[in-house]
Structure 1
Amino acid sequence: MTTLHSNNRQIMLKLLIAAVMMFGFGYALVPMYQALCKVTGINVLTSKNDYGVRAISPNRIGNTQVDYSRKVTIEFDSNSRGPFTFKPVKNFLEVHPGEMTEIVYEVTNNLGRTVEAQAIPSYAPKSATEFFTKLECFCFQQQTLAPYEMKRMPVVFVIDAGLPEDVKTITLSYTFFEIGVGQQPAGSTTPKT
């Protein structure tokens, strides 16, 4: 009986250690992801407050004038990882640096259940990232989509007038993906009936 009791304690201790390690790993994923994004310069995540401060900071005031002498083509790209139809309403816009511009993305939940999702932006060329200021974006927070719901989600942005002259085209790309536990496989878009 003592051996059985001893074995049960060892198993319980191992399970407890495994649970603590899994929790610690899950807790560390967000900072690790943010550090990786910062090092590689992809999927730059910035909170809405950071963009608001950046847009009105005293260092940027000189760059708020619209430069009508030049145009920059902004291309819009979309990728989805999950049960979504996701796309911009326009594939590109021509904008003047310093001009406030809005583009709308549409997303449809193709499942018969509520889905939590998040969008992650990325930019090309990488050097344009610091000159692309989003004032409003659906990527600032998670999105909840009811069964078969379609949402129109705006992105309001300004291209800084300090953008180097040789940059004529910027691509803004979003990857929209389902978050949470017990989700359907990423490639599946067949609605449940």
Structure 2
Amino acid sequence: MVNSKINKITAKKLFFICIAMFLFSFALIPLYNVICDVTGLNGNTSNLKEKANTFSEATIMESNDKLNIQFISHETIKNKLAFKPKEFEMTIVPGKIYSTMYVATNKSDLKIIGQAVPSVSPNEAAKYLKKLECFCFEQQTFKPGEVVELPLYFAIDEKMPKRIKTVTLSYSFFETVDVSKK
């Protein structure tokens, strides 16, 4: 009788632990995004789209300091999509607007819909990178065999600390679900 009561209590506790774990799994993504925005962890640049809208020519000043920007891509859709930067590195002057391209090639016989996710390193540089136009702002659709040049217009704020000499902008491209069919 005592064992039966203990077993019921243990079963109830385990049930509630399972429910709590299930609910926590839904909270992980928003929690992770908040932590990344606050700390700059993983070079999260999600809040920079709004900041880019306030970046105007009036705030651009000349500077003689040069900075290296490296461009990296990660192909997460193996054997379906080739995704790489057209230029792997450029030397820029902070405060000026620059452009580059990434090239995506759909190597499959199917339409691919995906989203590029940016990351900036070092983390501190993320708040000084202003993306004015970026393919990462929206989903991309690639027809079978299609080769697409994806533009990126950006500037580095002159207020970036001088100790940062190289900034790496990395994109990972993930396949997404076509929400228009739902």
TM-score (structure 1 length as normaliser): 0.70
Counterpart-to-counterpart distance in 1, 2:65 and 2:154 = 17
Q: Would the alpha carbon gap of residues 113 and 121 (structure 1) be closer, same or farther in structure 2, given more than 3 Å must change?
A: same
140, 143, 146: which is aligned to 2:140?
A: 143
Question: Cα deviation per residue 1:7-40 (whole Å; 9 max; x = unaligned)?
Answer: xxxxxxxxxxxxxx89x94xx6763453243245
- Corresponding residue of 1:7: none
Q: Would the alpha carbon gap of residues 171 and 145 (structure 1) be closer, same or farther in structure 2, given more than 3 Å must change?
A: same
Counterpart-to-counterpart distance in 1, 2:127 and 2:38 = 14
Question: Cα deviation per residue 1:64-113 (whole Å; 9 max; x = unaligned)?
Answer: 1121x211010111101112101111110000011110010001112111
- Corresponding residue of 2:47: 46
Counterpart-to-counterpart distance in 2, 1:33 and 1:113 = 33
Q: Would the alpha carbon gap of residues 37 and 111 (structure 1) be closer, same or farther in structure 2, given more than 3 Å must change?
A: farther
Shift of 1:45: 1.3
- Corresponding residue of 1:129: 126
Q: Would the alpha carbon gap of residues 116 and 40 (structure 1) be closer, same or farther in structure 2, given more than 3 Å must change?
A: farther
Question: Cα deviation per residue 1:37-62 (whole Å; 9 max; x = unaligned)?
Answer: 32452232137444212x13xxx95x
Q: 1:74-153 alignment to 2 at 5 Å? A: 74-82=69-77, 83-153=80-150
Structure 1's unaligned 5+ residue stretches are 1-20, 182-193
Counterpart-to-counterpart distance in 2, 1:29 and 1:117 = 22
Tell me the number of residue pairs that the alignment of Structure 1 and Structure 2 aligns: 153
Q: Would the alpha carbon gap of residues 180 and 48 (structure 1) be closer, same or farther in structure 2, given more than 3 Å must change?
A: same
CA contact (8 A) 2:48 2:131 kept: no
TM-score (structure 2 length as normaliser): 0.74
Shift of 1:168: 0.8
Q: Would the alpha carbon gap of residues 77 and 148 (structure 1) be closer, same or farther in structure 2, given more than 3 Å must change?
A: same
Name the aligned partner's letter for residue 76 of structure 1: F
- Corresponding residue of 1:15: none
Q: Would the alpha carbon gap of residues 100 and 81 (structure 1) be closer, same or farther in structure 2, given more than 3 Å must change?
A: same
CA contact (8 A) 2:37 2:47 kept: no
Structure 2's unaligned 5+ residue stretches are 1-21
- Corresponding residue of 2:36: 37
